[in-house]
Structure 1
Amino acid sequence: MPPARKRTRSYDPVKTRTAVLAQYGHVRAGVATLTPDQLALPTRLGDWTVRELVAHLGMTLGAVSALLGLPEPSEQDGTLLDWPFAIAADAPAIAAHARELAERHPDPDAHLAAAEERFTADLAARPGTRLLPTSAGALPLADYLVTRTVELVVHTDDLNAAVPGLDIPYDRQALAACTRLLADALAAKAPGGSTEVRVPPYAVVQCVEGPRHTRGTPPNVVETDPLTWLRLATGRLTWQQAVEDAHVSASGERADLSAYLPLMA
């Protein structure tokens, strides 16, 4: 069953563009320090190497440029909350493209720089209302840029996990947008008001069918930190492991979210 339609949260387009470029800048600075041996390291993304992951990170911006080069759809027929559930179908093509890009661009930093230069030029005269033909339907450019924060933040975490000591930082606004979009996606997938999910300091959502909480302390509460939430939402971490390791606190009979996770896989 597809997730229920919910009203999409609004995002400041200027802040989103700034956040995307800020996180991309953090990635570029980290990638510039990688040695050939580090680029050959495995990642937690199947058989992807760090080099292939870096090539894919260039496509977080390159995808925007590519979509802007296609004819504009006549009307919007998708929403931002459709995107997390649509992206999994693209996984095989995305992986193949990452490998092809890694082979075609032996200099990772040059690849990232070229993608950023084109992205900046393409966005200079494009309004946020410009529709893009994405896998989640026709979406406004401003909305699609929010999805770029998810790609950048989640894959920054993948890079940090793959390369010991790398420690690429997270732009606060990018992390906030990413956290909120995936929290809202959970609320769309598990509609209801019986459980409160808290990801401080960025998001609080109500979800899961059952008696709706109206005031006082909710009977079912889940709380975790932003990076743990992103790992749960994208399948990098299981619910059971997160609870066992005390990265998630869950209280109440409807506080087990394992049936709804991951959202993206």
Structure 2
Amino acid sequence: MPPAKKRARRYDSAKLRRAVVTQYGTVRTAVARLTPEQLADRTVREPLARLHRAAGDIVVATEAPEPAPGDDLIALERWPYAAARAAAEGGDPLQDTYEAVAEAVTGTPDTRRVGTEAGPMRFPDYLVTRIVALTVHTDELNEALEPAGITVPLDREALATTTRLLADALATEAPGGSVELRIPPYAVVQCVEGPRHTRGTPPNVVETDPLSWLRLATGRLTWPDALHSAKLSASGDRADLSALLPLLP
């Protein structure tokens, strides 16, 4: 029997807008306190450039012409893999101001459609993709700043949204019910073709924490390293999801 069609997750538009502005504002505050020597470090500059682009793209997207109504919207759960394929085309980082980003985020209606490298999207769905990018690149920045003892806080809603979308993306790419992926406290999804679990403890279970999951999903943490460091547990014959990772480059 084919797996039941999964209902698309719904996100609260107001929470998405708040998460974008909060996370980008937190980064801005932290960066203002860095020394010129820290800002000159390449390992710090590169995630900062990606953060500026992730937020600045919102301004660019909302100022660009709206996609035609007849263009099919891309499903949000398909975005990570579609974006990864489109990323090979590259692009230059953008340096947009916080105020411009906040204005675009708060002033654009939910009904607005925007064009992306993966295809046209509803504006709230597009905000989810920007939250993922901001969260991932903030985590990269934290890794670069770790020797200096500096941590840029991750907004809870932003981390939760990122965790859920990346879990949903994997479940969409590998539909099924033989493996249960658990990322407490934010997400539980079933995936991978095979015998479907209906009750009791699933025979194949993968569990990890949100930060380890986003690092696995972006290729910054390998499956063997996650297992070896106990950041990941996987039980069952079908519980190896490494062939499906990373989701994003």
Same fold at TM > 0.5:
yes
State the match for 2:233 in structure 1: 249
State the match for 1:197 in structure 2: 181
1:198-237 superposed matches below 5 A = 198-237=182-221
Off by >6 Å, runs of 4+ in structure 1: none
SS of the counterpart of 1:137? coil
| CA displacement 1:120-179 (0-9 Å, x = unmatched) | 223444211200011121101110001111111111110011122121111110000000
Contact (CA 8 Å) 1:59, 1:115: kept in 2 or not?
Answer: no
The offset of 1:92, in angstroms, is 5.3
Q: Determine the C-alpha separation between the residues in 2 that align with 1:86 and 1:187.
A: 15
The offset of 1:115, in angstroms, is 2.4
Q: How many residue pairs align between the two structures?
A: 241
State the match for 1:52 in structure 2: 46
State the match for 2:57 in structure 1: 63
Is 1:172 equivalent to 2:156 in the alignment? yes
Q: Determine the C-alpha separation between the residues in 1 that align with 2:175 and 2:85.
A: 23
Contact (CA 8 Å) 1:154, 1:230: kept in 2 or not?
Answer: yes
Tell me which of 105, 128, 142 is aligned to 2:110: 128
The offset of 1:90, in angstroms, is 4.4
| CA displacement 1:47-74 (0-9 Å, x = unmatched) | xxx2232132122221011011111112
1:79-228 superposed matches below 5 A = 79-91=75-87, 94=90, 96-98=91-93, 101=94, 111=95, 114-163=96-145, 164=147, 165-228=149-212
Q: Determine the C-alpha separation between the residues in 2 that align with 1:150 and 1:226.
A: 12
Q: Determine the C-alpha separation between the residues in 1 that align with 2:35 and 2:102.
A: 28
Q: Structure 2: which amino acid aligns with 1:169?
A: P
Q: Determine the C-alpha separation between the residues in 1 that align with 2:31 and 2:152.
A: 9
Q: Structure 1: which amino acid aligns with 2:229?
A: D
The alignment-based identity, stated in percent, is 58
The offset of 1:116, in angstroms, is 1.8
Contact (CA 8 Å) 1:79, 1:136: kept in 2 or not?
Answer: no
Distance 1:72 1:39, change over 3 A: same
Q: CA RMSD in A?
A: 1.7
SS of the counterpart of 1:250? strand
The offset of 1:236, in angstroms, is 0.5
Structure 1 unaligned blocks of 5 or more: 44-49, 102-110
Normalised by the length of structure 2, the TM-score is 0.91
Contact (CA 8 Å) 1:79, 1:137: kept in 2 or not?
Answer: no
Structure 2 unaligned blocks of 5 or more: none
Tell me which of 73, 83, 94 is aligned to 2:67: 73
